A and B are shown apart, each in its own frame.
Chain A
């Protein structure tokens, strides 16, 4: 049995799909290099990521299947869910026979799960827009750390670029050791040290204290509902929320 292997990036995955199409292959398994285990009984075929080829593939998907498919595939891919590659490959194969009609085949077993994954990722991105907390660093730029369930930094980039256009900021995905940086003109995603937090400006303490005070005062004591609060604030976010950390005023 052959395992098709790529570098774990979206362009890498698209290159792999392009290769499968030209060679007329039907993969039984697609894995990213880092989730590959030594398997004596399988043959591994590695495909090198090739940006121009990936871009061509994306253009082909937009014109021959549907422009919606590009965004859908990308978002579902960002879920990093195990087996997502094969799922997306099946979606693509179906798309090659249906064309744009695939947008309406939402109940099809090869399409429905892709929509569902994309939707989950989008929801996480929407959440992250709210729970990011910027802190002003001593160096004058604004720093935020998060650990989202999926790799959503690029999905929230346009939002923060507009919202915080006049600030230099950096959003740090500490689970994936990635950072999204904005220099008031453009944003860039790059690998980043998993640990380091910059020294903060002297003002920062004052504002975070005020915010914590506000946060605890806005609760209506007669309506306490911690369970509901926790339902909305998943654990992965809590340690980064200014109002839930630091001096406990709750």
Chain B
């Protein structure tokens, strides 16, 4: 076989990395170093959008796609017959700096297949980031993946150099993990995760001058649809990760059948991209809208409604709580109105201090009323006639469809698309 060129290696390692979802570059604050290259922007910046409609913010790449593990869902697994290539830490650092200078990217998202041992792999990853930070004086955003089972000392080094660290939970349960990723034990994932969450919490207690530790927090990723867990199980797990471990984000990755393996399910039922989209919406409700998992789903309906966003579905089941009067309702109550997002709720609260709001003023404030008007009154007046639940359901479904069918099937991870997802 011919020796691959640098360009070929880059392409292969980008292909190997592309199934990882996270591309966020926001929310870090490491403080600036004089004379360095770059900064971290407070709100995420998208530099481009790939042909699958996903935001490109970071150079997302593996150091190598060699791997001694054999995870059934992964194209890089040991038993898969693909071309294997490796970049050196220096090469990745050089690439990052040059892409960054040209404003192609906001930073680096670095991961790797497991070579030799988890510790050896982690050392190579850390070395790359060290070169960037110390030799190139790179100040931009770095998201570093932790290797399952990596030594605690290495984990803490990683957190001191990177803005964000993450380790993928991969599958929602211990059993599923054992089935599909036999080389990864649940503990080899959970231990570093707990360690990082402890170190982040400890750092918060220290003064502003203490060295930063993963200032953009910790995230993880769960693969959806490769194993039989239902949505209730998944969002309950996410809620625990947010509340107990203080994770910043849980990413959901619709399983893409990159390999055929008898352990993997055939694809049927709700299209996975749609299911993934609904999970992101539900996740959003947990983090920013004060919903609890058992408000959205229960054992009799353990999966999210494919036709309707989870907030609308919840409102339809709880019609006795509506309509709410925009001049009186608390912020938390406004947030529960379908169609009213964080920004709209804030605008309403601010504007109503000065004047009573009718539906007309809401429109002027930029509140999208298509769905909301069925659930609120402005100064006692509703403006639409009351519908039966079936009719209302139909109306809500059409309203959502018209909003944007393209967005329906996509991932969200950026400030720019927060504006889209934020307002449901």
Binding site for B on A (CB under 8 A): 101, 104-109, 112, 116, 126-127, 129-136, 142, 144, 159, 162-164, 166-167, 207-211, 213-229, 231-233, 241-243, 250
Residues in B whose Cβ lies below 8 Å from that of A219: 18, 50-52
Bound-state CA distance A104–B361 (Å) is: 13
Query: How far does the Cβ of A81 sit from chain B's closest Cβ, in whole Å?
Result: 16
What are 11 sample pairs from A and B whose C-beta atoms fall under 8 A apart? A104-B354, A130-B45, A134-B101, A136-B102, A207-B99, A210-B99, A218-B17, A224-B51, A229-B49, A231-B53, A232-B416
Q: Is B407 within 8 A of A242, CB to CB?
A: no
Q: Is B14 within 8 A of A229, CB to CB?
A: no
Binds A, one of B3-11, B160-168, B369-377, B391-399: B3-11
List which B40-98 residues lie within 8 A (CB) of chain A: 41, 43, 45-57, 59-61, 95, 98
Q: Is A228 within 8 A of B406, CB to CB?
A: yes
Q: Is A131 within 8 A of B48, CB to CB?
A: yes
Binary CB contact string for chain B from 323 to 363 against chain A (1 if under 8 A, 0 otherwise): 00000000000000000000000010011011101000110
Q: Is B19 within 8 A of A220, CB to CB?
A: yes
Bound-state CA distance A198–B407 (Å) is: 39
Bound-state CA distance A131–B47 (Å) is: 5
B273 at the binding interface (Cβ < 8 Å): yes
Given A163-B39, A232-B46, do A112 and B365 touch, yes or no (CB 8 Å)?
yes
Q: Beyond the given A107-B351, A107-B362, A163-B38, could you list 4 further A-B residue pairs with CB under 8 A, ordered by the A residue number?
A: A163-B39, A214-B10, A218-B17, A218-B60
Residues in A whose Cβ lies below 8 Å from that of B241: none
Contact of B14 among A130, A163, A214 (CB under 8 A): A214
Nearest 5 pairs of A and B residues by beta carbon: A228-B53, A225-B53, A217-B14, A107-B361, A223-B52
Contact of A215 among B50, B256, B357 (CB under 8 A): B50
Residues in A whose Cβ lies below 8 Å from that of B353: 104
B103 at the binding interface (Cβ < 8 Å): yes
Query: How far does the Cβ of B226 sit from chain A's closest Cβ, in whole Å?
Result: 14
Residues in B whose Cβ lies below 8 Å from that of A131: 47-48
Number of B residues whose C-beta is below 8 Å from A? 63
Residues in B whose Cβ lies below 8 Å from that of A228: 49, 52-53, 406-407, 409-410
Query: How far does the Cβ of B419 sit from chain A's closest Cβ, in whole Å?
Result: 8
Q: Is A126 within 8 A of B415, CB to CB?
A: yes
Q: Is B18 within 8 A of A217, CB to CB?
A: yes
Bound-state CA distance A167–B415 (Å) is: 27
Q: Is B354 within 8 A of A105, CB to CB?
A: yes
Q: Is B416 within 8 A of A134, CB to CB?
A: no
Q: Is A130 within 8 A of B47, CB to CB?
A: yes
Bound-state CA distance A127–B102 (Å) is: 16
Residues in A whose Cβ lies below 8 Å from that of B365: 106-107, 112
Bound-state CA distance A127–B416 (Å) is: 8
Q: Is B406 within 8 A of A224, CB to CB?
A: no
Which of A105, A116, A210 has the largest count of B CB atoms less than 10 A from its CB? A210
B402 at the binding interface (Cβ < 8 Å): no
Bound-state CA distance A212–B10 (Å) is: 11
B319 at the binding interface (Cβ < 8 Å): no
Query: How far does the Cβ of B139 sit from chain A's closest Cβ, in whole Å?
Result: 9
Query: How far does the Cβ of B64 sit from chain A's closest Cβ, in whole Å?
Result: 16
B314 at the binding interface (Cβ < 8 Å): no
Bound-state CA distance A108–B357 (Å) is: 10
Query: How far does the Cβ of B100 sit from chain A's closest Cβ, in whole Å?
Result: 9
Contact of B15 among A209, A217, A224 (CB under 8 A): A217
Bound-state CA distance A132–B188 (Å) is: 42
Bound-state CA distance A75–B189 (Å) is: 48
Measured CB to CB, the nearest residue on chain B to A231 is: B406
Q: Is B48 within 8 A of A106, CB to CB?
A: no
Q: Is A211 within 8 A of B364, CB to CB?
A: no
Residues in B whose Cβ lies below 8 Å from that of A231: 53, 404, 406-407
Contact of B103 among A101, A133, A213 (CB under 8 A): A133
Q: Is B46 within 8 A of A130, CB to CB?
A: yes
Measured CB to CB, the nearest residue on chain B to A106 is: B351
Contact of A210 among B12, B95, B409, B415 (CB under 8 A): B95
Q: Is B406 within 8 A of A225, CB to CB?
A: yes
B35 at the binding interface (Cβ < 8 Å): yes
Measured CB to CB, the nearest residue on chain B to A220 is: B52
Query: How far does the Cβ of B125 sit from chain A's closest Cβ, in whole Å?
Result: 19
Q: Is B98 within 8 A of A207, CB to CB?
A: yes
B131 at the binding interface (Cβ < 8 Å): no
Contact of B355 among A105, A127, A133, A136 (CB under 8 A): A105
Given A218-B56, A219-B52, A243-B48, do A107 and B355 touch, yes or no (CB 8 Å)?
yes
B290 at the binding interface (Cβ < 8 Å): no
Measured CB to CB, the nearest residue on chain B to A225 is: B53
B37 at the binding interface (Cβ < 8 Å): yes
Q: Is B48 within 8 A of A233, CB to CB?
A: yes
Given A214-B14, A219-B50, do A164 and B45 touch, yes or no (CB 8 Å)?
no
Which of A142, A220, A233 has the largest count of B CB atoms less than 10 A from its CB? A220
Q: Is A232 within 8 A of B102, CB to CB?
A: no
